Amino acid sequence: MAGIERIECGARMSGAVVYNGLVWLAGQVGTPGASVTEQTKDALAEVDRLLALAGSDKTRILSAQIWLADMADFAEMNAVWDAWVPQGATPARATGEAKLAAPEYRVEVIVTAAQA
């Protein structure tokens, strides 16, 4: 059985954790106060970066959770998501509304992926 690998391990959380061929990412957010479009782009760029560090990529995402501070932003977030997610490799996904860590955050993306 493989060991646990923690990527960008901090005092409170790791950016990613790899175990037994699976990759779990911490919630990714964009620049506080930016538009929903920009925050979504930033969060997805961080997903790409962390997955690469873990030996994976967005075609290997198994599931995604997307939290919005306001469900009124659903269409704006989806426009960015739809341009980013690989067609034919779309993951299982849930989107909900939640109070995020700070009021300036509008989008948070959490994914689980398989290693390549």
- Please tell me the pTM assigned to this model: 0.95
What's residue 2's pLDDT?
A: 66
DSSP 5-24: EEEEE-SS-EEEEEETTEEE
The helix or strand, by DSSP H or E, that contains position 114, with its residue range, turns out to be strand 107-114
Mean of the per-residue pLDDT values of the chain = 97
> CA-to-CA distance for 45 and 49, rounded, in angstroms?
6
pLDDT tens digits for range 45-102? 999 999 999 999 999 999 999 999 999 999 999 999 999 999 999 999 999 999 999 9
* CA 30, 61, 56, 76 torsion-angle sign: negative
Question: How many domains is the chain partitioned into structurally?
Answer: 1
Q: What is the mean pLDDT of residues 19-36?
A: 97
Rounded-to-integer distance, Cα 98 and Cα 24, Å = 20
User: What CATH number does residue 72 fall under?
Assistant: 3.30.1330.40
Structural domain range at position 27: 5-114
